[in-house]
Amino acid sequence: MKISVVKNILEANQRLAEENRRRFSLSRLLVVNLMSSPGAGKTSLLERTIQSLKGEFEMGVIEGDIQSTYDAERIGRTGIPVVQINTGGACHLDSNMIQEALKSLEIASLDLLFIENVGNLVCPAEFNLGEDFKAMILSVAEGDDKPLKYPLMFHESQVLLINKIDLLPFCDCDLNLIAERALKINPHLTIFQVSCRTGEGLTAWTDWLKQKIKEQKQNFIEKTKFT
Amino acid sequence: MKISVVKNILEANQRLAEENRRRFSLSRLLVVNLMSSPGAGKTSLLERTIQSLKGEFEMGVIEGDIQSTYDAERIGRTGIPVVQINTGGACHLDSNMIQEALKSLEIASLDLLFIENVGNLVCPAEFNLGEDFKAMILSVAEGDDKPLKYPLMFHESQVLLINKIDLLPFCDCDLNLIAERALKINPHLTIFQVSCRTGEGLTAWTDWLKQKIKEQKQNFIEKTKFT
């Protein structure tokens, strides 16, 4: 009984995720669903990434939080459009919330849309939002056992950003072990080692992102040619 | 519709939580529900606490994880009885899972039972397990904005352990701000500042815990006198 309820919720979400995907595709933008534990550095990564890509690309952010507009205010200070979703207790974003948020965002003018999910290493991994890819952040302060304990998030993500590498000398955390355990769950995972505090490693991430934005536009042009 | 399902789940859980509470009460033990984000230090705190109280009190642990027995193995090495619950995807423990776990644990011989919840700063706060109190851990690496963004966990907990204070010189985190924001949500919160890595501050926590175990036994003796 409980399982069938959950299944219905997931199926309903998936239908709306497909609708979102079609809308995103029509607007030719790249959409990234950013997930992590609380405090792993999602908003800091967005601030850094926006600073780096501003001027070159048009960006927007949908901020997901249980309550408060704290993160949206931080993103707002970078000068790009941001919409805050308050889930009012819910531990993840779903596709319906994204549809509501899109009413307040001009996605046709964007190249890149970030969706910052609720801080939670469990539930958000179950809910597709219509994104092009899921990126997860793991802070080295969380420890190298996280892929073993929260495998779904590592399985569903295309990108793993290992953040706060400036804390490595002060933590009992083995980067190679994280990579080894994560790749065992998901061999296609692209891994970046970064510090949003010092800026280390962020160029590799933003270069990769630029390439993805360009590929997305190229794909659209090629699709249009043949239809 | 969705809300009524959730309400039914919470009501059913609450009934089983009351059953658990009666069983715990008959066994005169203190039960602590330990919650935090992934990697904030729940298992490390348990290892340290068990080392400190071993010999003086009889302890047991119920370990909650989505999958793996990694944490139960760590606790098992301390030599005290431990039962692993694998939730198989679920993002929190519920009272029914605790009833199942209790089949494998001789609680009548215990003074103190720790329940280590799934690493998640959101959902576990909604589910009572029949515990005497909820204790939450916040790692300073997660940042001082967490009470603003995850208020329910701070509201439901009786104890807040701010962990990894050895990382304070390397993080942009203000301890006073955490305390101020947490106490605004929950003025009755007892706060400890600790480092499970260096051991700093842990004596205050274990002394407090010893006192609570003694009070629990005293309460039971007094109750028995008058009935």
How many CB atoms neighbour CB A53 within 10 A?
18
For residue B6, the model assigns a pLDDT of: 65
Alpha carbon distances (Å) from A155 to A117, A122, B64: 17, 12, 21
Band of pLDDT at residue B1, cut at 50, 70 and 90: very low
How many CB atoms neighbour CB A226 within 10 A?
5
Q: Both tokens of residue B29? A: 């033990």
A199-210 average pLDDT score: 98
Of B39, B149, B171, the CB nearest to A37: B39
Q: Quick one: how far is CA B74 from the chain centroid?
A: 17
For residue B220, the model assigns a pLDDT of: 75
Contacts of B170 in chain A (CB under 8 A): 166-167, 170
Q: With contact defined as beta carbons under 8 Å apart, do B171 and B146 qualify?
A: no
Q: With contact defined as beta carbons under 8 Å apart, do B194 and B165 qualify?
A: yes
* Closest listed residue to residue B81, CA positions, set B62, B97, B68, B94: B62
Provide residues of A within 8 Å CB-CB of chain B. 2, 5, 9, 37-40, 65-68, 70-71, 89, 91, 118-123, 126, 139, 141-143, 145-146, 148-152, 164, 166-167, 170-172, 197
Contacts of A37 in chain B (CB under 8 A): 37-39, 119, 121, 142
What would the pLDDT profile of B154-212 be if each residue is shown by its tens digit?
A: 999 999 999 999 999 999 999 999 999 999 999 999 999 999 999 999 999 999 999 99
Calculate how close chain B gets to A217, using CA atoms only, in Å. 36
All residues at 6 or more sequence positions from A215 whose CB lies less than 8 Å from its CB, including other chains: none
| A141:B65 CB<8 A | no
Residues paired with residue A36 on neighbouring β-strands, in sequence order: A137
Contacts A–B by Cβ distance under 8 A: 114
Task: Give yes or no for residue B3 having a pLDDT over 60.
Answer: no
Residues paired with residue A59 on neighbouring β-strands, in sequence order: A112
Alpha helices per DSSP H over A27-86: 42-53, 70-76
Task: Give yes or no for residue A75 having a pLDDT over 60.
Answer: yes
Q: With contact defined as beta carbons under 8 Å apart, do A121 and B38 qualify?
A: yes
All residues at 6 or more sequence positions from A121 whose CB lies less than 8 Å from its CB, including other chains: A35, A36, A37, A136, A146, A150, A153, B37, B38, B119, B120
State what percent of residues in chain B have pLDDT above 70.
Answer: 96
B29-36 average pLDDT score: 98
Contacts of A152 in chain B (CB under 8 A): 66, 89
All residues at 6 or more sequence positions from B146 whose CB lies less than 8 Å from its CB, including other chains: A38, A39, B121, B138, B178
Mean pLDDT of chain A: 94
Q: Is A61 helix (H, G, I), strand (E, B) or coil?
A: strand
How many CB atoms neighbour CB A29 within 10 A?
24
What would the pLDDT profile of A92-142 be if each residue is shown by its tens digit?
A: 999 999 999 999 999 999 999 999 999 999 999 999 999 999 999 999 999
Mean pLDDT of chain B: 94
Calculate how close chain A gets to B145, using CA atoms only, in Å. 8
- In DSSP notation, B135-193 reads EEEEEGGG-TTHHHH-HHHHHH-SEEEEE-GGGGGGS---HHHHHHHHHHH-TT-EEEE
For residue B35, the model assigns a pLDDT of: 98
What would the pLDDT profile of B119-135 be if each residue is shown by its tens digit?
A: 999 999 999 999 999 99
What would the pLDDT profile of A163-177 be if each residue is shown by its tens digit?
A: 999 999 999 999 999
pTM: 0.94
Of B119, B121, B148, the CB nearest to A70: B148
Residue of A nearest to B144 (CA): A39
Task: Give yes or no for residue A27 having a pLDDT over 70.
Answer: yes
What would the pLDDT profile of A181-199 be if each residue is shown by its tens digit?
A: 999 999 999 999 999 999 9
Of B123, B149, B164, the CB nearest to A141: B164
Say which residue the tokens 């047991």 belong to.
Answer: B60
Task: Give yes or no for residue A1 having a pLDDT over 60.
Answer: no
For residue A221, the model assigns a pLDDT of: 78
Contacts of A145 in chain B (CB under 8 A): 70
Say which residue the tokens 């576990």 belong to.
Answer: B124
Q: With contact defined as beta carbons under 8 Å apart, do A200 and A194 qualify?
A: yes
For residue B4, the model assigns a pLDDT of: 59
Q: Both tokens of residue A190? A: 């692209």
Residue of A nearest to B9 (CA): A2
Residue of B nearest to A5 (CA): B5
* Closest listed residue to residue B190, CA positions, set B131, B135, B113: B135
Residue of A nearest to B165 (CA): A170
A38-54 average pLDDT score: 98
For residue B7, the model assigns a pLDDT of: 73
For residue A86, the model assigns a pLDDT of: 95
| B170:A170 CB<8 A | yes
Q: Determine which helix (DSSP H) or strand (DSSP E) holds B220, and give its type and residue range.
A: helix B202-225
For residue B74, the model assigns a pLDDT of: 96
